[in-house]
């Protein structure tokens, strides 16, 4: 009787389990190696602002706020103290240079003028007396010289006569010697008088010069005192508008006290600019603003060196024309040109810059389903665009709204 022999299988059940387990492990390993390890965040794309990267003209300018101010404010200080007697012009009125605004009175100043006039009169009288005395002395010396000259001539004639007589033996030699001595004495006396006259002339010239100088100085002093009296009239130094006039009739004003101010009609615009641009702002840069459909051109005339609270000041003046109804205190939004327009890769401004600092942006894929974080480098900026130096190409789309809620996620899933 034949016995049926069953054929044994080459693979046992345990081998099948081993192969299946190995395949699973291999699949897990492959998934781990090739999986997307970047962190992701799901966001509502309706709440995002997406813009296209463009190749276009980048206009290098910034928008600043400028305030209209008077070009010059001339302060009125009391040159001389006194009591306000009359107020001729009221605050807010237009004044011309030289217009009298206030009249002051100062009795002590009047007394000083009277004293200076009395001193001047005394000095002038002294000068006249001195001149008269010197002139009398000069005449006396001249008269004395005339007498001595006459005496010298007589004695010289006698001396010569006695000389001939002595030679002929008609007179004693002693008489001749006496005549010669008289002649020589008279000649010496005349020389002394001539020297006195010369010295007197020099002394008189110096004395009169000194006295004249004193008189001139006293006249100048009197003129200054009278000018001080004229300073009691407070006058407008320039054309303009009178402001902050607080002096009232009867009020006592001290010397040097601030009385008011005159605002000149010329105006300027003062703009405060972020210190980020401190090295790029120079005198001569152009600026403009629009008002009532017209563009007004300006230029930077002064850059102040001080930086306070992250800003520095600049002054701008109108180049040609200004708004007719412009007033001090008004503000304007100015476009300050920093450079010439250039072709560049640009992206619209957005709040993303506050979070990224211009170091990265989220680039949306072609399907618009995801956005990945990409390093970029932002260059210059204006009120409309950022200049992209590297990291983006024209035609790509990027998220320009805020990144505060994205954290450090590399990938955004747009739903």
Last residue of a domain, one of 337, 361, 379: 337
**Shared-domain flag, residues 275 and 384:** no
Identify the residue with better confidence: 12 or 95: 95
348 and 321 assigned to the same domain: no
H helix and E strand count, the chain: 4, 24
Same domain, yes or no: 113 and 220: yes
Across all residues in the chain, what is the average pLDDT? 84
CA distance 137 to 143: 10
Residue 109 pLDDT grade (very low, low, confident, very high; cuts 50, 70, 90): confident
Whether residue 193 is found in the same domain as residue 119 = yes
Same domain, 199 and 242: no
- Which of 262, 279, 305 is a domain's end point? 262
pLDDT at residue 279 tops 80 = yes
**In this model, does residue 34 exceed pLDDT 60?**
no
pLDDT at 264: 85
Q: Are residues 410 and 362 part of one domain?
A: yes
pLDDT at 360 over 90: yes
Q: Assess whether pLDDT exceeds 70 at residue 117.
A: yes
Number of domains in the chain: 4
Percentage above 90 pLDDT, the chain:
28
Distance of CA 129 to the CA centre of its chain: 57
Q: For residues 353-377, give the mean pLDDT.
A: 91
Per-residue pLDDT tens digits for 222-253: 777 777 788 888 898 888 888 888 888 888 88
Q: What is the mean pLDDT of residues 288-302?
A: 90
> What CATH number does the domain containing 100 carry?
2.40.50.100
Q: Would you state the pLDDT for residue 313?
A: 94
| Rounded Cα–Cα distance for residues 409 and 61 (Å) | 34
Residue 19 has pLDDT above 80, yes or no: no
Do residues 206 and 246 both lie within one domain?
A: no
- CATH number of the domain to which 389 belongs: 2.40.420.20
For residues 361 and 347, give the distance between their C-alpha atoms in angstroms, rounded to a whole number: 11
Q: What is the pLDDT of residue 163?
A: 85
Specify whether 238 is located in the same domain as 89. yes
Shared-domain flag, residues 97 and 243? yes
Phi-psi region of 24 (alpha: psi -120 to 50; beta: other; left: phi over 0): alpha
User: What is the pLDDT confidence band of residue 3, given thresholds at 50, 70 and 90?
Assistant: low
216 and 358 part of one domain: no
Per-residue model confidence (pLDDT) at position 152: 84
pLDDT digits (tens, 9 = 90+) for 143-179: 888 888 888 888 888 888 888 888 888 888 888 888 8
Does 363 fall in a domain?
yes
* 59, pLDDT greater than 50: yes
Residue 11 lies in a domain: no
- Does the residue 9 lie in any domain? no
Residue 219 belongs to a domain: yes
Does residue 319 sit within a domain? yes
User: Maximum CA pair distance of the chain?
Assistant: 228
**Quick check: 132 pLDDT over 90?**
no
The answer to whether the beta carbons of residues 53 and 396 sit under 8 Å apart is yes
Residues 210 and 132 in one domain: yes
Q: What is the CATH number of the domain that holds 288?
A: 2.40.30.170
Query: What pLDDT, on the 0 to 100 scale, is given for residue 1?
Result: 43
83 and 66 within one domain: no
Predicted model pTM = 0.54
Residue 375 has pLDDT above 90, yes or no: yes
DSSP assignment string, 137-168: HHHHHHHHHHHHHHHHHHHHHHHHHHHHHHHH
Range of the domain at 410: 38-58+342-414
């Amino acid at each position: 009787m034949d016995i049926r022999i069953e054929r044994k299988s080459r693979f046992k059940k345990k081998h099948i389990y081993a192969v299946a387990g190995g395949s699973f492990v291999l699949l897990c390993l492959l998934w781990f190696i090739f999986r997307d390890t970047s962190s992701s965040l799901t966001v509502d794309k309706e709440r995002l602002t997406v813009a296209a990267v463009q190749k276009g003209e980048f206009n290098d300018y910034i928008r600043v706020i400028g305030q209209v101010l008077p070009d010059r404010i001339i302060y009125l200080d009391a040159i001389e103290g006194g009591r306000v007697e009359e107020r001729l012009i009221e605050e807010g009125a237009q004044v011309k240079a030289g217009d009298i605004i206030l009249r002051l009175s100062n009795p002590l100043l009047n007394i000083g003028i009277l004293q200076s006039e009395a001193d001047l009169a005394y000095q002038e009288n002294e000068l006249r007396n001195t001149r008269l005395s010197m002139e009398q002395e000069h005449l006396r010396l001249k008269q004395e010289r005339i007498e001595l000259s006459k005496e010298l001539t007589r004695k010289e004639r006698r001396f010569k006569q006695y000389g001939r007589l002595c030679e002929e033996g008609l007179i004693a030699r002693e008489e001749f010697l006496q005549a010669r001595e008289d002649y020589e004495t008279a000649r010496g006396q005349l020389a002394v008088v001539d020297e006195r006259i010369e010295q007197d002339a020099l002394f008189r010239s110096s004395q009169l010069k000194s006295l004249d100088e004193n008189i001139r100085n006293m006249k100048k002093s009197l003129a200054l005192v009278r000018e001080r009296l004229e300073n009691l009239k407070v006058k407008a130094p320039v054309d303009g508008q009178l402001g902050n006039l607080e002096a009232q009739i009867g009020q006592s004003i001290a010397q040097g006290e601030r009385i008011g101010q005159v605002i000149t009609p010329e105006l300027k615009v003062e703009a405060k600019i972020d210190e980020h641009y401190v090295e790029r702002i120079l005198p001569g840069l152009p600026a403009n603003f629009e008002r009532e459909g017209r563009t007004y051109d300006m230029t930077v005339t002064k850059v102040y060196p001080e930086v306070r609270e992250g800003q520095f000041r600049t002054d701008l003046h109108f180049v040609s024309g200004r708004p007719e109804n412009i007033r001090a205190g008004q503000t304007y939004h100015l476009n300050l040109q920093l450079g010439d327009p250039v072709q560049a890769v640009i992206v619209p401004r957005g709040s993303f810059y506050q979070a990224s600092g211009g170091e990265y942006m989220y680039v949306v894929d072609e399907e618009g389903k995801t956005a990945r974080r990409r390093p970029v480098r932002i260059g210059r900026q204006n009120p409309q665009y950022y200049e992209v130096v590297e990291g983006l190409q024209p035609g790509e789309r990027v998220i320009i709204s805020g990144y505060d809620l994205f954290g450090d996620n590399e990938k955004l899933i747009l739903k």
